[in-house]
Amino acid sequence: MTTVRWWLVRHAPVRGWDGRIYGCLDVPCDTGDAAAFASLAARLPTDPVLVESHLSRCRQTAAALAEAGARLPAPIVAPDLAEQNFGDWHNLPWTGIPDTGFWDAPTTNAPPGGESFADMLQRVRRGIERLSSDHRGRDIVAVVHAGTVRGALALALDLSPPAALRMAVDNLSLSRIDLTERGWRVVTVNARP
């Protein structure tokens, strides 16, 4: 296998949700920080494969990166790389989650009508493994979500779901992992533009 380099970019900030859960809802993001986009665009490789989740905030972020000078092709839309589905809890404040015992095991308990964090990690793993196989020897710029980046880092570092959930992933941050002949290598985590 030839090395696959993953450039994981978390989408731009979502405004106006004030502590409410938006997870896999299709909400827009704020792409107004031109300096941050220019800085991040300058760090990305030329001639990559572009992968996005199916949510518009990833598409908006990729478009703003291209406008700032990143050389990005038409995207591959990968729903496997979407954020965690919080089901019936979408649009609730984090402090308003019903007492269902969720916090007793937040990585394995699923919100009603949603998926657990552990389930999301497995979905992300499948997507990354498939895309890595399909694009051997390439740079893959993935404009995705905090949960997706955590999932990719959990795969690369062989982390348990509780360990992966402890990682900070800031908006417009860059994390990079490489799949080499010898396995995964972590190059950068949560680098700010």
What does the pLDDT read at residue 103?
A: 85
Neighbours of 75 (CB within 10 A): 18
Query: What is the DSSP secondary structure assignment for residue 133, as one 8-state letter?
Result: H
The string of pLDDT tens digits covering residues 44-56 is 999 999 999 999 9
Provide the residue type at 123 as one letter. R
CATH of 4-191, one of 3.30.56.10, 3.40.50.970, 3.40.190.10, 3.40.50.1240: 3.40.50.1240
The string of pLDDT tens digits covering residues 6-58 is 999 999 999 999 899 999 999 999 999 999 999 999 999 999 999 999 999 99
Indicate the burial class of 137 (C-beta count within 10 angstroms; 0-12, 13-18, 19 or more): exposed
Provide the residue type at 26 as one letter. D
Joined tokens for residue 140: 């893959």
Task: Evaluate whether 176 touches 188 at the Cβ level (below 8 Å).
Answer: yes
The string of pLDDT tens digits covering residues 105-145 is 999 999 999 999 999 999 999 999 999 999 999 999 999 99
Indicate the burial class of 102 (C-beta count within 10 angstroms; 0-12, 13-18, 19 or more): middle
| CA dist list (Å): 183 to 118, 137, 157, 178 | 22, 14, 10, 8
Query: What is the DSSP secondary structure assignment for residue 91, as one 8-state letter?
Result: T
Domain ranges of the chain: 4-191
The pTM is what?
A: 0.96
